[in-house]
Amino acid sequence: MVSNAPARLTVLSGPSGVGKGTVVAEVRRRHPDVWVSVSATTRRPRPGEVDGVHYHFVEPAEFDRLIATDGLLEWAEYAGNRYGTPMAPVRERLAAGSPALLEIELQGARQVRARAPEAQLVFLAPPSWAELVSRLAGRGSEPAAVQEARLAIAQAELDAAGEFDVVVVNDDVARAADELVGLLTAPSPGLVPGE
């Protein structure tokens, strides 16, 4: 990716069911030169997942070591497993002058904002609340109480959009992916290229 813009850390987040993974997969397909951080996790690999590609699968003791040595940019626990962004690969990428993309949950995005205020936070939003409800309901035959809890969390996540620098609406995956790549390479506000 050729750009005069300084290297920039960009974080993509948004509510569950909005299609973060789908948009990032499209970014990788359409723009293979874009680097996407691979998270570390303590959960076991699912069938077809490859260590170092989908996640860095680590033992809980190794995850503890990463936390203790400040080796994670952010981390959180979900459903009894921990997930986090290894710091070293992100630093190496930015030091080489190339943009870095993280796809993480809201809690992680808030941690990145606190630790790296210069990072660009991008919120991926659904085209409408009805569309998000449809996506979340279409995930399986869950009991009504589980669906209601998911929707309450999604509403709280949507309410956090104002904490982000940019909102990208996922009304078309290819367009959203291209917009995200444009944000990765855009000059930081207040920075003059070449300075």
**DSSP string covering 27-47:** HHHH-TTSEE---EESSPPPT
**What is the average pLDDT across 31-36?**
88
Q: Is residue 171 part of a domain?
A: yes
Instruction: Give me the pLDDT at residue 99, please.
Output: 87
> Does residue 178 fall inside a structural domain?
yes
- Region 84-88: mean pLDDT is 96
Residue that wins the pLDDT comparison between 61 and 53: 61
Structure tokens at 1: 């990716």
Strand partners, 12: 103, 122
Which CATH number goes with the domain that contains 138?
3.40.50.300
| Residue 85, domain member (yes or no) | yes
What is the rounded CA–CA span in Å between residue 99 and residue 3?
A: 10
Residue 53's domain comprises 9-185
Task: Return the number of other C-beta atoms located less than 10 Å from residue 176's C-beta.
Answer: 24
Binding residues for ATP: 14-21
Round the CA-based radius of gyration of the chain to a whole number and report it: 17
Amino acid identity, residue 70?
Answer: D
Residues 104, 13: contact at Cβ < 8 Å? yes
